[in-house]
Each structure stands twice: as structure tokens, then as C-alpha cells.
């Protein structure tokens, strides 16, 4: 090709780029976000549990107050038609189905369907099941039930691509996300952990059981219940975005069957779930680890959505971050990383 031909080709390519650039920009621009409450069948405890679906909408978002949560989404806004990827978010111990609302809104504003749920007996108004099979073995089953609910609901099934489903989870929700992605908990690992960290408040019950000679039996009962409500792993889930996970119950054998991408996030100074016993412990054991990110100086609760003044007043313990940690800035990065991860792993085009 001579110089004149190359110049002509370059000019045509430049013209095409200029013609299509506006369309690409529009495709990548954030949309409005709508949300609706949903009811999810709970196969573990019977009955139902609440949740929300966030989704892209052509209607501009507005600020909606839901209790102490400031949602940048419009109730019952009309959804944009067409099948989209789905991400299910699992909250942490004693958490809420709106505890990660900024992540839900961010993903929805960039073309995702996002579902949240309230885990029965382990949420902000009911922690009666903590440490029992209904919670430790039940959480992954409830995540699967949320997927089932949406794929069978006439309102939502046409808006979801069943081949592009991911999960995100924080703390106990991170544990649930890993189990849904194929990890198998080994609950007897609690014993070694508590011997290394006897002052951990969560080890008090285990210490009591050990003194009674019933700890091994109690942990064996938990282990026997892993498949009680069905297989917890879900092949429909293609990727897991995991924040400060409870993962001390996993070892190399536990993670051998995790065959889909996992992204790990943790706070450097997490005193609730020590990184060296949890996120950093499992990072080298995950064959499909797509990335690891650390938030410098941050504690455990930095992964909860930035708090409104009302929530900060009501729940200072989960809203206050250590000096030098900007939760709003941290969430800009968390949300951007989650979007990039799910776009890549769920095969979502960015234009």
C-alpha cells in the first residue's frame, strides 16, 4: 500500500470514529435507576423474606428516602426493555437489604439488574439464627432462591439474561457468595481459629461448647447440614465479587471447586474479620482469583454504603471510619471495580 492509500484509509477510519463516537458515548453513559420491593420465598425457614430489585430506567433518577437510607433511584420507574445481566447482593451479619444500596444503584445505572435480599434470622432486627445451620448453611440457599424468584417472575424474567448472573457479598454475605460459587465450608476450622484468637467475641460460644465436650458434635451437625436444603453451589452464577468475607472456614480443599472468577476486597485494619485469617488466607488458594484490592487503614464496615446523617447518628459504630479513610472515595473505587469485574466476567460489552 502506497503512502497516498494509507493516508486515505486513515482518513476514512478517522471519519468512522467521529461518526460513531456519539453513539458509543451514549451507550456508555449512565442511565436513570428504578427500584421495586420484591418478596422472595425462603426455602430454609419457610415463608418469605423481603428484598429489592434495582434496574436501568430511561426516567431520570431522583433521591428517595427509605428509612435512614438515601437512595438515588426512583420507585416503580419504568424499566428499559431487554435482557440484562443480573447481580445478587448478599449483606453481612445483622445487615440490611439496603446496606449496599450505592453499589446496587451504580451497577443498575450502567445496565445491570441488581437484586438484594434480607437474610432471615441474621439481619438488623433479628439475629436469632446466628451460628446455626439456618444461617451458615442457609444463606447460600437464599441467594439461589432470589435468583429463582426473579427468573420465574413475569415482571423480571424478560429483563434478565439467565446466562449472565453474578453475586456480590460482604462479610457473611461474602462467605455466602463464595459458597454459591463452589466453595465448601469446613466448620471444624473454627476450632483452630479460636485457639489462635481466644479473645474473639465470636469464640465465646465455641469455648463453652468445648468445655462441655460438645463442640465437635455441634460443628459436625453444621457440616452435615451443608446440603440439607439442596446443593448450595449454583452453576448459573458466573462470577463473585467478595468484600471482607468470613472465610476462615475455607481451606485448600474447600476452594478446589471454585471454577469461576472471584474478586477479593478487604480493609487493611479490619478487626472484625482479620485479613490474615480471612481474605488474605484464601487469596492464594483460589485458582480463579481475578484480583485483590486492599483499602488502606480501613476497618470492616467501610464496605457498607456511606451513611446518611440520620444513619450515622443511629449507628455510629458502623458508620465511623478510622482517620485517613474516606468512605465516599473508597466506594467510588469499589463500585468502579465491581462494574469492570462484572462487565468482563459476564461478557458485557462496554459500547
Q: How many CA atoms lie within 13 A of 170 on its CB side?
A: 29
Domain assignment present for residue 206? The answer is no
Residue 20 resides in a domain: no
pLDDT of residue 100: 98
9 in any annotated domain: no
Q: Which residues of 43-82 are buried (b: 16+ CB within 10 A; e: fewer)?
A: ebeeeebebbbbbbbebebeeeeeebbbbbbbeebebbee
Residue 259: give the domain boundaries: 31-185+226-345
Task: Give the Cα separation of 49 and 18 in Å (integer).
Answer: 50
Total domain count, the chain? 1
Burial of 22 (0-12, 13-18, 19+ CB in 10 A): exposed
What's residue 97's pLDDT?
98
- Domain contains 86: yes
Please indicate, yes or no, if residue 212 is contained in any of the structural domains: no
The answer to whether residue 191 sits within a structural domain is no
Low-confidence ranges of the chain (pLDDT < 50): 1-29
Q: What is the predicted pLDDT for the residue at 204?
A: 75
- At residue 211, the pLDDT reads 63
DSSP string, 45-90: TSSEEEEEEEEEESSPP-EEEETTEEEESEETPPBPPS-EEEEEEE
Backbone angles phi, psi at 144, to 5 degrees: -60, -40
Domain assignment present for 13: no
CB 195 within 8 A of CB 203: no
CATH code (residue 131): 3.40.50.1820
The secondary structure element, H or E, covering residue 346 is: none
Note whether residue 17 is domain-resident. Answer: no
Amino acid at each position: 500500500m502506497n503512502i497516498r492509500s494509507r493516508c486515505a484509509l486513515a482518513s476514512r477510519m478517522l471519519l468512522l470514529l467521529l461518526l460513531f463516537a456519539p453513539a458509543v458515548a451514549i451507550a456508555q453513559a449512565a442511565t436513570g435507576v428504578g427500584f421495586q420491593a420484591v418478596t422472595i420465598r425462603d426455602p430454609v425457614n419457610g415463608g418469605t423474606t423481603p428484598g429489592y430489585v434495582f434496574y436501568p430506567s430511561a426516567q431520570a433518577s431522583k433521591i428517595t428516602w427509605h428509612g435512614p437510607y438515601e437512595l438515588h433511584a426512583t420507585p416503580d420507574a419504568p424499566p428499559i426493555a431487554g435482557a440484562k445481566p443480573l447481580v445478587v447482593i448478599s449483606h453481612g451479619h445483622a445487615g440490611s437489604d439496603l446496606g449496599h444500596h450505592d453499589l446496587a444503584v451504580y451497577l443498575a445505572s450502567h445496565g445491570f439488574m441488581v437484586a438484594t435480599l434480607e437474610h432471615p434470622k441474621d439481619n438488623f432486627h433479628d439475629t436469632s439464627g446466628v451460628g446455626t445451620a439456618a444461617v451458615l448453611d442457609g444463606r447460600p440457599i437464599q441467594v439461589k432462591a432470589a435468583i429463582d424468584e426473579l427468573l420465574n417472575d413475569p415482571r423480571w424474567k424478560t429483563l434478565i439474561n439467565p446466562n449472565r448472573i453474578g453475586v456480590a457479598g460482604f462479610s457473611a454475605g461474602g462467605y455466602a457468595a463464595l459458597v454459591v460459587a463452589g466453595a465448601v465450608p469446613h466448620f471444624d476450622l473454627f476450632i483452630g481459629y479460636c485457639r489462635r484468637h481466644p479473645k474473639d467475641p465470636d469464640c465465646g460460644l465455641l469455648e463453652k461448647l468445648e468445655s462441655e465436650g460438645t463442640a465437635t458434635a455441634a460443628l459436625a451437625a453444621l457440616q452435615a447440614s451443608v446440603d440439607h436444603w439442596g446443593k448450595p453451589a449454583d452453576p448459573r452464577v458466573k462470577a463473585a465479587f467478595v468484600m471482607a468475607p468470613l472465610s476462615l472456614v475455607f481451606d485448600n480443599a474447600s476452594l478446589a471447586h471454585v471454577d469461576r472468577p472471584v474478586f477479593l476486597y478487604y480493609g487493611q485494619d479490619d478487626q472484625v474479620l482479620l485479613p490474615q485469617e480471612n481474605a488474605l488466607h484464601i487469596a492464594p488458594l483460589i485458582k480463579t482469583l481475578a484480583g485483590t484490592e486492599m483499602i488502606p487503614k480501613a476497618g470492616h464496615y467501610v464496605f457498607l454504603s456511606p451513611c446518611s446523617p440520620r444513619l450515622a447518628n443511629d449507628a455510629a459504630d458502623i458508620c465511623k471510619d478510622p482517620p485517613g479513610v474516606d468512605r465516599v472515595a473508597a466506594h467510588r473505587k469499589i463500585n468502579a471495580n465491581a462494574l469492570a469485574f462484572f462487565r468482563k466476567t459476564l461478557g458485557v460489552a462496554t459500547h
